[in-house]
Amino acid sequence: MNIEEVVKKVIQEIEDNDYQKKYNNRFSNETEEEKNFYYEKRKDSGVLVENPNNREVIEKVQSITPARIGIGRSGTRMKTESYLDFRVDHAEAQDAVFKDVSHELLEGQQLPFLKSQAPSMEEYLMDLEIGRKLDQSSAEWINENCSKQKQVQIIISDGLSSTGIEENIPDLLPALIQGLKVKNITYGDPIFIQRSRVWIQDQVASYVDCDLVISLIGERPGLATAKSISAYFIYQPDETSVEADRTVISNIHQGGIPPVEAGAYLADVLEEALKYKASGVSLSRIKNE
């Protein structure tokens, strides 16, 4: 169910006929520009609590968190505006998980389309292991086409948020690559792996024989944002590698770490990992010695 359908359904449930008529008319006559404005998340709704004891405190808290603070209530329930926003956020989160990354993005970024062993998103969500391994055709493609013995290999994964990939990769990936070029760090051409998990990077690294592999992967969406991604990297993974061997930079999106800034920062961190020949807990320990 898309966002427009969700909003229409909620409006139909509202008992106030004048309110319903007003918005039904809007749906039938609105322009594309008006539609985009209406469905954009309204973070500037302000304090919706009636006669608050301390408006300034609520406004201060609202300014530092996207959480639903100061939304007020009508009787025992949240107000209609807040309820609509909640339903929109929920629909965006579901879309982020279940829709696919567009072919336009992959073509625009020149990313080859590869797959994990997960045949569907439902199975991907239920079985961790099948998202950690390449399917046979993708493994063969990497063996035959990917550059070998580069310092860095970049993987893009939709993970749990295709929306996060769509929103961030067009800015993040060029910034990261530019940073690697400036630092004279060699890298293999980035690849996209559908329905893959972080640990698939270990298998990819074994095929391309790189020093370090980094995965840019969609984060689990929440009701504050469905557009966030994380970057996980590991230095020379093998069959003994564990989670503590990986470094993660999370919360990459316009409301967190902006993608362009994240790309430049990741280039710096990867340079550091290559210098110390470590990642994860080991990298932190070496830096603090």
Indicate if 65 and 179 belong to the same structural domain: no
Indicate if 184 and 207 belong to the same structural domain: yes
Strands 152-157 and 212-218: parallel
Residue 210 tokens read as: 């790189």
The neighbour count for residue 78, using CB atoms within 10 Å, is 17
Q: CA 274, 280, 284 angle in degrees (round to 5)?
A: 85
Half-sphere exposure of 129 (CA within 13 A, CB side): 0
> Token match 């409006």: residue?
11
Closest C-alpha among 182, 180, 192, 132 to residue 152: 180
CATH number of domain containing 138: 3.40.50.11240
Q: What's the pLDDT at 198?
A: 95
- Kindly state the DSSP code that residue 101 receives in the 8-state scheme: P
Range of the domain at 278: 103-288
- Kindly state the DSSP code that residue 214 receives in the 8-state scheme: E
Q: Is 218 exposed, middle or buried (0-12, 13-18, 19+ CB in 10 A)?
A: buried
Tell me phi and psi for residue 211, to 5 degrees.
-80, -35
Indicate if 84 and 191 belong to the same structural domain: no
Indicate if 258 and 122 belong to the same structural domain: yes
Domains contained in the chain, number? 2
Q: What's the pLDDT at 26?
A: 42
DSSP string, 167-193: HHHHHHHHHHHHHHHHTT--EEEEEEE
Mean per-residue pLDDT pooled into runs of 10, the chain (289 residues): 57 46 44 48 66 86 79 83 77 74 92 96 91 96 96 94 91 96 97 95 96 94 76 95 95 91 96 97 90
Please name every residue paired with 252 in a beta bridge, in sequence order, or none if there are none: 229, 257
Q: What's the pLDDT at 224?
A: 62
